[in-house]
Amino acid sequence: MYNTPNKRNCVDCLKRSPLFNFLTQEQLELVSKNKTEIDFKAGEIIYKQGTVINDVISLNAGMAKIYIEGLNNRDMIISFLNATHFVGGPGIFVDNKHHFSIKAVEDSSACLIDGDVFKKLIKDNHEFAYAILRFISEKSIYYFNRFISLTQKQMPGRIADAILYLSKDVYKCNPFDLNISRQEIGELSAMSTESASRILNDLQKEGVIKVKGKRIEIINENLLKEISIKG
Amino acid sequence: MYNTPNKRNCVDCLKRSPLFNFLTQEQLELVSKNKTEIDFKAGEIIYKQGTVINDVISLNAGMAKIYIEGLNNRDMIISFLNATHFVGGPGIFVDNKHHFSIKAVEDSSACLIDGDVFKKLIKDNHEFAYAILRFISEKSIYYFNRFISLTQKQMPGRIADAILYLSKDVYKCNPFDLNISRQEIGELSAMSTESASRILNDLQKEGVIKVKGKRIEIINENLLKEISIKG
DNA sequence: CGCGAGCTTGACGTTGTTCAACTAGAGTGG
DNA sequence: CCACTCTAGTTGAACAACGTCAAGCTCGCG
């Protein structure tokens, strides 16, 4: 992790989060002045759970994972981040601590925006504040779905959810090449690495998906969705 | 469920949510004009998951439960509400639909505040908007804890969490008398009714708690917390 | 060619659910 | 005052789901 000169100006940046569309040009200049663009290598930690929050981030390139460090060194992956994704942890409005960790899954670049500037923008620009409210609320709705998936579905249903999430929201294509491990698929679906591996194989035997190493292809999407719904 | 005259004025109401402390007197008058006070009998539904959001609520008296209607008619209880608790579902900022249901657990009274007025207050009063941001963020942090509890802890740890939650946050006293069923304890801890019953009994045998019908007493709080942490 | 990390597979034990029977207690009506 | 009923709660036994452990495999990489 090293700093690069802030060559990009937020005003005309194409990689910035759509949330910043609600800012005025003047406010974008303010963000520009108070941001730092940082490159992270794969595996590097961007935020560490429990530490003090100094900034919020917008991912420019690469991919990262948000995860909670749970019991007995077991992590739970909340979601993955791509370019233009914004993260302002809930702690920034509560106790100013990170309540999850973020780690680069592949080489990534992110803009770190000063937390006080972020708060000032919320106070000054109610459209932006409203967009942040909507953003956080969308997360909450996502959490509700995760709750049902993780606590009421059996393993095939949870893996189906994970595959659909990865294909639709993360990689955004159908045969997709994973840059994450089986263990991480397990952490995404609240199960052991071995179980994740087994279920993937089972789904392949049933002809729902095709798995070849890191490549996964959805063969029968309707059936996969059915498995997801039935749990 | 029937309407009662809006005798209470929000300006000097002692049962209102502390969130409203951020409003000006003028804004409180506006809320007063656009609220309806409703009594709900135990078991009556206040909000039904999937329906359109027309208002937000502040509970004046009684107790209610927020729960997600999951798979195969299995509910998952998110939290319980007491007097002065506010609820504005995440849907109000997203798709204007309720993403959970709320049901009165005992006879309750609630003020329903027009959703558009609520949104207007957020736009007009950034202190209030900020308080709502903090409020939602606190919920998110609570959800993270629930995720770890429900997906990484075994049944004794989950029941320990439920007992501590009920004692500390809901009933706010130590020997407390439940007005909820064993099934609801199960729905709070993501397990079957039978398992909830069994674990309560087990914890009693170990001398951690005392259970007599609807009454639960925490005998050894440190041990209970330890069971919670160890999972 | 060999090493090692990640992945797979099987066997086994544990955890938790389901089903069914039983019990306790709160109404209800004769 | 006593059956009767109904619901919630408890308990046991069988079963299914899932994790753990250990062994073996694959494949990229030196």
- The crossing angle, in degrees rounded to 10, of helices B155-165 and B126-152 is 150
Region A33-40: mean pLDDT is: 96
C1’ C29 / CA B64, Å? 34
CA nearest A193: which of A159, A225, A224? A159
Q: What is the mean pLDDT of residues A35-50?
A: 96
Which residue, B115, B92, B96, B98, is CA-closest to B50?
Answer: B98
**What phi and psi values does residue A16 have, to the nearest 5 degrees?**
-75, 160
* Interface touch A137/B190, C-beta < 8 Å: no
* Nearest residue by alpha-carbon distance to C1' of C15: B154
pLDDT in tens, A104-133: 999 999 999 999 999 999 999 999 999 999
Size of interface A-B (CB pairs under 8 A): 134
Tokens of A98: 């990170």
Location of structure tokens 């802890």: B153
Tokens of B49: 């998951």
Cα dihedral across residues A69, A71, A73, A74: positive or negative: negative
pLDDT 10s digits, A129-182 = 999 999 999 999 999 999 999 999 999 999 999 999 999 999 999 999 999 999
- pLDDT score of B1 more than 50: no
Q: At residue A1, does pLDDT exceed 50?
A: no
By the 8 A CB rule, do A27 and A119 touch?
Answer: no
Chain A residue whose CA is closest to B144: A68
User: Using CB atoms and an 8 Å cut-off, which of residues 86-145 of chain A contact chain B?
Assistant: 90-94, 99-100, 122-124, 126, 129-130, 132-134, 136-141, 143-144
Average pLDDT over residues B52-70: 97
In 3D, which of A48, A50, A43 has the Cα closest to residue A64?
A43
Query: What predicted TM-score, i.e. pTM, was given to this entire model?
Result: 0.94
As a whole number of angstroms, the distance between CA B109 and CA B20 comes to 18
Residue A149 in tokens: 């998936």
pLDDT in tens, B149-178: 999 999 999 999 999 999 999 999 999 999
> Are residues B45 and B103 in contact, defined by beta-carbon separation less than 8 angstroms?
yes
State yes or no: pLDDT of B3 exceeds 90. no
Name the band, by pLDDT with cuts 50, 70 and 90, for residue A31.
very high
Whether the CB-CB separation of A130 and B123 falls below 8 Å is answered with yes
